[in-house]
Amino acid sequence: MGTPTSGAEGLRSIPALLHRNAKTLADKPAYREKEFGIWQSWTWSEAETEIENLALGLLNLGVAEGDFIAIIGRNRPYMYWGMVAAQMVGAIPVPLYNDAVAEEMAYVLDHCGARFVIVSDQEQVDKVIEVQENLHQFEHLIYLDPRGLRKYDHTRLHQYSHIQEQGHAARDELTPELRRREAKLDYDSTCVMLYTSGTTGKPKGVVLSNRNVIESAKSSSEFDDLRQTDDILAYLPMAWVGDFIFSVGQSYWTGFCTNCPESGETMQTDLREIGPTYFFAPPRVFETQLTQVMIRMEDAGNFKRRMFHYFMDHAKRVGPALLDGKSVGLWDRLKYNLGEVLVYGPLKNTLGFSRVRVGYTAGEAIGPEIFEFYRSLGINLKQLYGQTEATVFITAQPDGQVRSDTVGVPSPGVEIRIAENGEVFYRSPGVFVEYYKNAESTADTKDAEGWVATGDAGFIEPDTGHLRIIDRAKDVGKMADGSMFAPKYVENKLKFYPNILEAVVFGNGRDECTAFINIDLSAVGNWAERNNIAYASYQELAGHPQVLATIQAHVEEVNRSVAQDEMLSGCQVHRFVVLHKELDADDGELTRTRKVRRRIIEEKYDDIIAALYDGSDKVSTVTEVTYEDGRKGSISATLEVRSAETRVAAQKMAAE
Amino acid sequence: MLDQSDGYVTEDGRKIGSVVMEMKNITLRFGGVEAIKNISFDIREGEIRAIIGPNGAGKSSMLNVISGFYVPQDGEVWYRGERRAPMRPYEVARQGIARTFQNIALFEGMSVLDNVMTGRLTKMKSGLFGQAIWKGKAEAEEVANREVAEKIIDFLEIQSIRKTPVARLPYGLKKRVELARALASQPKILLLDEPMAGMNVEEKEDMSRFILDVNDEFGTTIALIEHDMGVVMDLSDRVVVMDYGKKIGDGTPDEVRANQDVIDAYLGVSHD
């Protein structure tokens, strides 16, 4: 079965693609989910039946065209069906982050005016009920898992399977209406609305049309030669644009199977069992996995450990070249093959990457060593650059041109322009329609000719045509002496050390740069264990003199590397503190996609920042923390402020 | 004879049925020590019944009498309208009574799944030979039993440790595995011996939710012993209070809370 080559007439909505797949791929798997210890699967034609029954049930419940239906839950086939069923009846699905606290949900539910909400379980039902008084448009709640919900008042609460049953029972009467509504869907109708996590201010609802989604899915599928036989693991938040494009857009376009893990905690086991051929993960996931591998190898026997390091050294030398199809000597080739049998193969199998044909990472810069590690194993890991407003794809790395410091060449159909201040602009068929109920922001972001500001500063490498991103454009500032300040550039260098989980660099408008650093508990904790260093809490470990000394060494190494760069040598970190708590999305310090919210951190820890600049060597502070269930508490600590050695910039040295 | 009244409806709308088990004038002695002195109370279908009391009050002994592990010297145990003759613990298990232990009693070297599967033992009918060659009936039986076990694993949210040896698990999870094993026999009455002992607040909250969900989802009658008063008062429909082997209170949490004898026993007024 080949892949259709164009968005032919009649294939201009996700439901239309569903019907096509149900016809041409009837008995091929569309969805799998592990439940009760077994992978359950649904073929495309079974998925069509399930989705139609749900759509009929939604009609039966009174869903009108143009209504918003919020979807809240972890990745499960039923949740994806909810989105497609909503599209079928002419409604607009709005997936939400299922780990959001009730108030965050309230804002989004109120902003889109969702009349219907489909949720996974009691936890989500409770959150919606908690805020429903303030949602005047909210009418009905549909839940999947009935557990614990028997005693709830069911006047506005419905079980998912009952909705499907009722829809099925009324099919004769309602099918004509369903077909009428489906027929009205075209390239301009809204496919989905996704709320951006928002590093600043309230989240914005990004409206994506069928054109955006299907065109992006089509050209990206062709770019990476995605096939019907591919498998992906759907484990990233459903509210994130990437998951929607991979698990719905590309899956429906090429007809490959979407696999859902059994639960959040079993992801690693499920990954190994499924062995996806197409895999996406943010750098953090790869980082954590590598840390785990290294920790386990430290604990392994002497022989195994030496074999591992011997063959990994070899892989680092020739693996990437082999992957790029460059010529490699016969002896090296043979040795690599031996390594494949003894080390790389078993390791890839353990990690669940045995079958990966196309792997992507994006969202943050990935450490060069981490990137090289996976590529040297023969895993085709690449980088892409994208955003919700572009329906993901702006640039991506073609096979054979993969490097850790670029984000690739413009994706098919995408035009790129760099503004004078360095900001990256793009124009493509994937460019979003608008921000919902926010014409002002829409106009700020997208101009009349369709160019969209990414908010990122970067440049295109003249000889390769690859795009390189430096930092968020609004975060790029000036130091007091007028030199360029790009915090992310330095933070990324710091975060490449396994001991450092998060770093926040300050210095805009100041004489020198300073930094907050979060240690990585698993890496530092393991180090402490191996060196017989006792600690009772995160806070104690973070303040341990030996830990501080290690971090200081990392900071100084980064300073040396930053000093090499003419433009950014002013960004060396002069003073830093290791924070007593992990920066957390529940405290509003990170976004749900774990990006640092600079302004909020600056305000919240202004006392520590003051200490970083006034020369004091200690600072006492009290920090408010929010627990997962929304309760608040506080922790107090005395932090040591450390000074790090800095270098004179490269060109200045030459002048002296 | 047994009280055959139709039960009652709780504040949150759960229907509690008629009496399923009745303890009549139970006295249990170990040599010269009277652990239980002439105690009577009943357990109704579908209710959560707590037995509380200070250390050494005889709570665990009482639970062991219910589970058939101890045979009282005096008194009668009535179960589903019949007087229960002294019987072996496995016979009690066959009658649909399952329990967990105060000191976890799992098979440490076995995986969580295997431990839960042992809870299905009373439901297995194929013989040793059939199981050894694992064909036909034995195979079908194991598949069916595995399905029940998996539903319970899903219910208690322990999928991620399904294949983990129990010895490697933290205490709080072991307790949950023990509950899973007890549930695997699909009991009519579930006896929990200090299900929250040694747990932190979060683990206690989880366990409370699971106990309520088990009761709600499967309609299982639950009798539990617990130290944590807050937990008991929130969970239970009715509470028996014991002190020095005697029953000093019996009723709803509110009634028990207002009972002067209970207050004295807990605040230690009469013993200081």
Q: Encoding tokens for residue A476?
A: 């790029």
Buried b (16+ CB within 10 A) or exposed e, B75-110: bebbbbeeebeeeeeeebbebbbbbbbeebebeeee
**At A242, which amino acid appears?**
G
B99-146 pLDDT, tens digit each? 888 778 899 999 999 999 998 887 777 777 777 777 777 888 888 899
Q: Is the pLDDT of residue A408 over 90?
A: yes
For residue B136, give how far its alpha carbon lies from the nearest alpha carbon of chain A (Å).
21
**Contact yes or no for A36 and B154 at CB 8 A:** yes
Contact by Cβ (8 Å): A558, A477: no
Q: How far apart are CA B62 and CA B36, in angstroms?
A: 7
CB within 8 Å of A550: residues ≥ 6 apart: A499
- Cα–Cα distance for residue pair A225/A613, rounded to 1 Å: 53
> CA-CA distance, B25 to A654, in Å (whole number)?
99
* Among candidate residues A378, A400, A404, A359, the one with its CA nearest the CA of residue A311: A378
Residue keyed to tokens 């747990």 = B199
Give whichever of A181-190, A626-635, B1-10, B72-81 has the largest mean pLDDT.
Answer: A181-190
Nearest Cα residue to A384 out of A480, A490, A469: A469
- As for the ipTM of the complex, it is 0.78
Residue contact A265–B12, C-beta within 8 A: no
d(Cα A288, Cα A523) in Å, to the nearest integer? 9
Pinpoint the residues of chain A covered by CATH 3.40.50.12780.
Answer: 283-472
| CATH 3.30.300.30 intervals, chain A | 477-655
Look up the CATH number of domain A14-259: 3.40.50.980
More confident residue, B271 or B75: B75
With cut-offs at 50, 70 and 90, classify the pLDDT of residue B3: very low
Q: Give dist(CA B127, CA A263) in Å, integer.
A: 36
* Residue carrying structure tokens 């791929």: A25
Residue A563 to chain B, least CA–CA distance (Å): 47
In the structure, what pLDDT confidence band is assigned to residue A656 with cuts at 50, 70 and 90? very low
In this structure, of A36-40, A207-211, B254-258, the range with the lowest mean pLDDT score is B254-258
On whether the CB atoms of residues A407 and A397 are closer than 8 A, the answer is: yes
pLDDT digits (tens, 9 = 90+) for A539-569: 999 999 999 999 999 999 999 988 887 777 8
B133-177 pLDDT per residue, tens: 777 778 888 888 999 999 999 999 999 999 999 999 988 899 999
Contact flag B216-A150 (C-beta cutoff 8 Å): yes
Under the banding of pLDDT at 50, 70 and 90, the label for residue B269 is: low
How far from the centroid of its chain's Cα atoms is residue A614's Cα?
38
B213 with A148: Cβ contact below 8 A: yes
- Residue A228 CB: number of other CB atoms within 10 A? 17
What span, in angstroms and rounded, lies between the C-alpha atoms of A601 and B84?
Answer: 67
Alpha helices, DSSP H, located in chain B? 59-66, 89-94, 112-118, 128-133, 137-155, 171-184, 201-218, 229-235, 253-258, 260-267
When pLDDT is cut at 50, 70 and 90, the band that residue A30 belongs to is very high
Helix (H) / strand (E) element for A513: namely: strand A513-519
Q: Per CATH, the architecture of B8-96+187-267 is what?
A: 3-Layer(aba) Sandwich (3.40)
Whether B46 shows a pLDDT value over 80: the answer reads yes
Q: Nearest to residue A242, comparing CAs of A293, A279, A205, A270?
A: A279
Chain A residues interacting with chain B (CB cutoff of 8 angstroms): 35-38, 147-148, 150-151, 262-263, 265-266, 269
DSSP 8-state assignment for residue A434 = E
Quick check: helix, strand or coil at residue B191? strand
Instruction: For A213-227, write each residue's pLDDT tens digit.
Output: 999 999 999 999 999
3-state secondary structure of A529: helix
Kindly provide the residue ranges of all beta strands, DSSP E only, lying in A81-189, ordered along the sequence.
92-96, 116-119, 140-143, 157-159
Chain B residues within 8 Å of chain A (Cβ atoms)? 12-14, 113, 146-147, 150-151, 153-155, 157, 159-160, 162, 209, 212-213, 216-217
pLDDT of residue B271: 47
Please state which of the four CATH numbers 3.40.50.300, 3.20.20.70, 3.40.50.2300, 3.30.300.30 is assigned to the domain occupying A477-655: 3.30.300.30
- pLDDT at site A610: 92
**Amino acid B217: pLDDT:** 87
Cβ contacts of residue A363 below 8 Å, gap of 6+? Answer: A282, A283, A593, A595
Beta strand pairing call for A642-643 and A116-119: unpaired
> Looking at chain A, which residues constitute the CATH 3.40.50.980 domain(s)?
14-259
- The domain A283-472 is placed in CATH, from the list 3.30.1360.30, 3.40.50.12780, 3.40.50.1820, 3.30.1950.10, at 3.40.50.12780
Residue A68 corresponds to which tokens in the numbers above?
A: 């918003």
Would you list the domain boundaries of chain B?
8-96+187-267, 109-175
